[in-house]
Amino acid sequence: MSAKAIERSLWALFAAFMIAVPWIVPAVISSFWVSVIAEILIWSLLAASVNLLFGYVGLLSFGQALYFGFGMYGVAIGIQDLGLSFWPAFALGIVASMTMALVTGIFAVRLTWHYFAIITVVFSLIFYFLALTNKWLTGGDDGINFALPPTLNIGGFSKSLTDPIFQYFFVLCTVALCFFLMHRLVGSPLGKAFLAIRDNDMRASLIGLNVYLLRLIAFVLSGFLAGVAGGLFAFFGRYASASYMFYHVSGEAVVWAIVGGAGTLLGPLIGTTLFILVREIVSTHWEHHSLIVGAVAILAVMFAPKGVVGLWNDFISSIAERSGAPAGAVELRTEP
Amino acid sequence: MDKLFLLAMNGLIWGLIIALIALGLAIIFGLLDIINLAHGDFFMVGTVLAWATLQSTGSFWLAFIVAPLIGFILGALIQQIVIKPIRNVAMLSIVATFGLSLILQESVRITYGPTPGRILPPIQNTIHLFGVDYEVYRLFAAVVAILALGGFFLFLQHTKLGTWMRAVRHDREIAVAMGIPAGRVYMVTFAIGFALAALGGVVAAPITTVDFRGGVDILPFCFMAVIIGGLGNLPGTAAAAVLLAFLEGVIQSVADPTVARIASLVLMSAVLLLRPQGLFKGLTR
Amino acid sequence: MSEPTLRTEGLTKRFGGLIAINNLNLSLAARRLHAIIGPNGAGKTTLFNLVSGLLPPSEGRVFFEGRDITGLKPHQISRLGIKRTLQVKSVFPQLTVAENLWITGQAGRGFLHPLRAATSDRQTREMVERTLAQIGLSSLSGRQAGTLSYGDVALLEIGMAMISQPRLLLLDEPTCGMSPAETERTVSKIRELSRAVDIIIIEHDMEVVFEIADDITVMAQGAILACGSPTEIAADERVREAYLGRDEDEDYVEDAARA
């Protein structure tokens, strides 16, 4: 079986499993874990936003929680204070996070390396404190709770996220759509330009790429992903709180992305799954799972900086090499 | 007016303590090129060590030696075990220090416990200053901080190790070519960084809480001092720390403390974007 | 007399107290292959950096085909048709050879589609295949550029320069660090290119210079020392003094000039 065929059958299995979750999982374990899987999917988008910037463009942002927060509060405030229904509120969250990404990105993207990382934290701290102090708007640390409007309301047919199966599929479809868009992006001309900038930004500018503009575009796209995650989170819990804008949240997303595999499509999903599963399983017996997160973060950087998916890709390539894969045809990979 | 004096004085003294901690961050950032997200937790460990020393020996004064010493050893160990092996994935060092921060916080939570505690100042008197009864311990803390700062700068200027540190910071390749053992310098730098933060923790312990989350607030403040003071500009960093804390103290007399913090952060962003070499470059050379 | 390809007016670059380029008035005619030679520190690479926009001049102007390009950003200058290679060979290490060429071919286009598959662009794909054949790297197209040998990286760089359809090509020490065989290959590629493109090369290898250059400019200490045809330069006393200063090397230059 060739490497490609292995990959394709794994994908099919994976898709089948994800679709069957609301029925398989309660039968084997309990229905509680269906909502855990939904949560994993939501947080994996935040990890994906970190991964897009770091793995594909070479910018390490430690402040994605800011855009997550704007997506989250866009939905919460939209429904609670502005009386919006489902889709307009979702749109508000996404637009808010993308706008924020644009405005902060204009400044942040002028810096690189350490200073970029620092300023992303600084921006996110500024808005964290603003959210904390403006309790009238954000509920501060305690947050806002709100009632969930229906998602679909066509004729007499109404579906809402209070239905756990519908909620799961809504989250699954949204997250799958986002990952699909990322997949297309990476294989596209724009995606290749990102990779060039990541590899050698001076060379990139010398061949005619507008490095600043491209970085800014990537930053806004990451803001989109984080905003979708935030919006989904708000819908999922009917809740929004400033504490989710703190840099610890950003930091954890970075760890998930790195451990999962930076610069790979599924890396963020794998990393998030690993950590949230560990958290859920460990915390029933032992409350100090943060120790594990910290230790794994350090070990991953020391011994496996390419992450789980990175190691897997290396393994697959070594198999492909040994079975004598042909070169010669002009090859543009879809997964770098 | 009294309130203003109180807050300003507190701010000034707090700034001196932060200057000590921020210098530790500055040498780690400046020499090893690492964004140390665990630095606030180094400070926190210092406060816990002060508490532990007090508990076990009954003497708070002993902590002034014990905490920096343990901090030094821990710093050296961490540098050798974690930091050194990851030199080839430099950008990821920030992830490693984040992990370290989680480990430190959680370890303290396990051993010391989750509830914040207080240490009574060893000097309980107050002195009458400008119409206010001011805690003598705070003045003492200021003196200790100033002495420590002075000692540190003397160390940098007049000892062989200090000169090595300055050389490696200035130009690593030439330093190595001249026979300076860069690896050892890195280890000592990280160790001193931890020790300075721990010392700051001891000095600050009686005027703040001993809490496993105590480092979370200190970290951004230290980074502000380093950036605004200017990377590589150690006196600038110390000056920025004092200035920022003093200003925040003053602003607190008329506004919410969070507003003061937001103002500092905005200033820091402005410096990063407009004058990345810091505000004090050229004023102290 | 047609417009010179590249012209500088009073171009000066200072780094603190150091003057790297000193009031340089250069004029390079079109349809020629120019070589710029000179001792280390003469300012040759700095000149390239100024022309390609990586450094802003302290004073003076740069004109490309009559157009003032002073102060433009590197990517803007690149889009005008000036492409360059770097002294230390530099490509995109984690991309494959084909992808390196592909992105270079696409980069000048302006709009980069965010969703359509890159492979579906037939025009660029054909350009890549053609260029691969021209530089002789077709068999390595799927290899990561970071794993290539030094000579192959240099060829890839030249390929990238070719695929971008340059109007002016700046080559910074293209044969640096190469074996004689690799140098041969590179020199013939450069000669091929020079039929369609204006080229300026910085070189230390005198044999290469005298083999392919139409005009030679000698720089020293940030200024032009001499300028002219290869024979003129070989005979120039000042050039020998500044550049060489030792008898054996004088003969070397003469031999190279006559070769």
Amino acid (1-letter code) at residue C213: A
pLDDT of B123 reads: 80
Of the candidates C203, C91, C202, the residue with the CA atom closest to the CA atom of residue C147: C91
pLDDT of B20 reads: 95
Position C259 in a domain: no
pLDDT of C253 reads: 62
Chain A residues close to C140, C-beta within 8 Å: 327
CA–CA separation, A69 vs A100, rounded Å? Answer: 10
pLDDT of A334 reads: 47
pLDDT greater than 60 at residue B159:
yes
Of A54-68, A143-157, A282-296, B107-121, where does the model show the most confidence? A54-68
Residue carrying structure tokens 């935040």 = A46
Of the candidates B209, B262, A206, the residue with the CA atom closest to the CA atom of residue C90: A206
Residue A328 confidence class, pLDDT cut points 50, 70, 90: very low
A54-76 pLDDT, tens digit per residue, is: 999 999 999 999 999 999 999 99
**CATH number, residue C226:** 3.40.50.300
**Contacts with C181 (C-beta within 8 Å, 6 or more apart), sequence order:** none
- Can you tell me the mean pLDDT for C147-159? 87
A294 vs A332, which has greater pLDDT? A294
Whether A214 contacts A197, CB under 8 Å: yes
Residue B131 confidence class, pLDDT cut points 50, 70, 90: confident
Which residue of chain A comes nearest to B258, CA vs CA?
A129
Does C167 contact A at CB distance below 8 Å?
no
C63 and C126 fall within a common domain: no
- Can you tell me the mean pLDDT for B164-185? 83
Of the candidates A283, A313, A308, A310, the residue with the CA atom closest to the CA atom of residue A296: A308
Q: Which of A59, A298, A306 to mutate to test the interface with B (most CBs of B within 10 A)?
A: A298
Q: For chain C, how many structural domains are there in total? A: 2
Of A60, A122, A297, the CB nearest to B99: A297
Among A249-263, B188-202, C2-16, which is the least confidently predicted range? C2-16
C31 and C130 fall within a common domain: no
pLDDT greater than 70 at residue A80:
yes
CB contact under 8 A, A190 and C108: no
- Can you tell me the mean pLDDT for C202-229? 88
- Can you tell me the mean pLDDT for A203-218? 93
pLDDT of C114 reads: 77
Does C94 contact A at CB distance below 8 Å?
yes
pLDDT of C101 reads: 93
CB contact under 8 A, B92 and A258: yes
Percent of chain B at pLDDT > 90 equals 42
Q: In 3-state terms, chain C is what percent helix, strand and coil (to 5)?
A: 40, 25, 35
pLDDT greater than 70 at residue C245:
no
C228 and C192 fall within a common domain: yes
- Can you tell me the mean pLDDT for B20-27? 94
Position C257 in a domain: no
CB contact under 8 A, B272 and A122: yes
pLDDT of C254 reads: 63
CA–CA separation, A215 vs C129, rounded Å? Answer: 29
Position C190 in a domain: yes
Percent of chain B at pLDDT > 70 equals 98
pLDDT greater than 80 at residue C255:
no
C94 and C140 fall within a common domain: yes
ipTM field? 0.84
- Can you tell me the mean pLDDT for B103-116? 91
Chain A residues close to B256, C-beta within 8 Å: 133
pLDDT of A73 reads: 94
Chain A residues close to B98, C-beta within 8 Å: 251, 254-255, 294, 297
pTM for this model (two decimals): 0.89
pLDDT greater than 70 at residue A323:
no
pLDDT of A43 reads: 97
pLDDT of A329 reads: 39
Name B117's bridge partners.
B210
pLDDT of A172 reads: 93
Residue B284 confidence class, pLDDT cut points 50, 70, 90: very low
Which pairs with CB-CB distance under 8 Å and at least 24 residues apart come from B107-112? Answer: B107/A291, B108/B44, B108/B45, B108/B48, B108/B212, B109/A288, B109/B212, B110/A288, B110/A291, B112/B48, B112/B51, B112/B52, B112/B210, B112/B212
pLDDT of A332 reads: 53
H or E element in which residue A153 lies: strand A152-154
CB contact under 8 A, A251 and B37: yes
Among the three residues C131, C165, C199, which one is the final residue of a domain in this structure? C165
What is the Rg, in whole angstroms, of the alpha carbon atoms belonging to chain B?
19
Does C51 contact A at CB distance below 8 Å?
no
C235 and C107 fall within a common domain: no
- Can you tell me the mean pLDDT for A197-220? 93
CA–CA separation, A244 vs C229, rounded Å? Answer: 70
C150 and C209 fall within a common domain: no
pLDDT greater than 90 at residue A26:
no
Residue C49 confidence class, pLDDT cut points 50, 70, 90: very high
Distance from the C245 Cα atom to the nearest Cα atom in chain A, whole angstroms? 37
pLDDT greater than 50 at residue A166:
yes
Polymer length of chain B: 285
Does A5 contact C at CB distance below 8 Å?
no
Whether A216 contacts A53, CB under 8 Å: no
CA–CA separation, C80 vs C65, rounded Å? Answer: 10
Which residue of chain A comes nearest to B277, CA vs CA?
A115
B219-266 pLDDT, tens digit per residue, is: 989 998 998 888 878 999 999 999 999 988 888 888 888 888 888 888
Does C114 contact A at CB distance below 8 Å?
yes
As given in the structure block, the two tokens for residue A227 are 């905003």
CA–CA separation, B183 vs A16, rounded Å? Answer: 53
C245 vs C40, which has greater pLDDT? C40
- Can you tell me the mean pLDDT for B256-283? 80
Does B223 contact A at CB distance below 8 Å?
yes
- Can you tell me the mean pLDDT for B152-166? 88
**Contacts with B166 (C-beta within 8 Å, 6 or more apart), sequence order:** B156
A249-284 pLDDT, tens digit per residue, is: 999 999 999 999 999 999 999 999 999 998 888 888
C29 and C131 fall within a common domain: no
Do chain B and C touch: 3 or more Cβ pairs under 8 angstroms? no
What b/e readout covers B101-125, taking b as 16+ CB neighbours within 10 angstroms? bbbbbbbbbeebeeeeeebebeeee
pLDDT of A96 reads: 96
Does A324 contact C at CB distance below 8 Å?
no
CA–CA separation, C93 vs C145, rounded Å? Answer: 5
pLDDT of C125 reads: 87
pLDDT of B30 reads: 86
Other CB atoms within a 10 A radius of the CB of residue B160 amount to 8
Distance from the B86 Cα atom to the nearest Cα atom in chain A, whole angstroms? 6
pLDDT of A327 reads: 43
Position C256 in a domain: no
Of the candidates C152, C100, C155, C73, the residue with the CA atom closest to the CA atom of residue A206: C73
C76 and C177 fall within a common domain: yes
Of A200, A209, A334, the CB nearest to C107: A209
Position C21 in a domain: yes
A217-242 pLDDT, tens digit per residue, is: 999 999 999 999 999 999 998 889 99
pLDDT of C257 reads: 67
pLDDT of B192 reads: 95
Q: Provide the 3-class DSSP secondary structure of residue A103.
A: helix
- Can you tell me the mean pLDDT for C211-217? 90
Of A189, A203, A205, the CB nearest to C91: A203
Residue C233 confidence class, pLDDT cut points 50, 70, 90: confident
pLDDT, mean over chain C: 85
Of the candidates A10, A53, A14, A41, the residue with the CA atom closest to the CA atom of residue A179: A41
- Can you tell me the mean pLDDT for A79-108? 92
pLDDT greater than 50 at residue A1:
yes
C141 and C239 fall within a common domain: no
pLDDT of C252 reads: 61
pLDDT of C150 reads: 84
C117-152 pLDDT, tens digit per residue, is: 777 778 888 889 988 888 888 888 888 898 998 888
Whether A267 contacts A55, CB under 8 Å: yes
B236-246 pLDDT, tens digit per residue, is: 999 999 999 99
Neighbours of C, requiring at least 3 CB pairs below 8 Å, are A
pLDDT of B285 reads: 36
Residue C259 confidence class, pLDDT cut points 50, 70, 90: low
C160 and C176 fall within a common domain: no
Enclosing domain of residue C135 = 89-112+119-165
C75 and C95 fall within a common domain: no
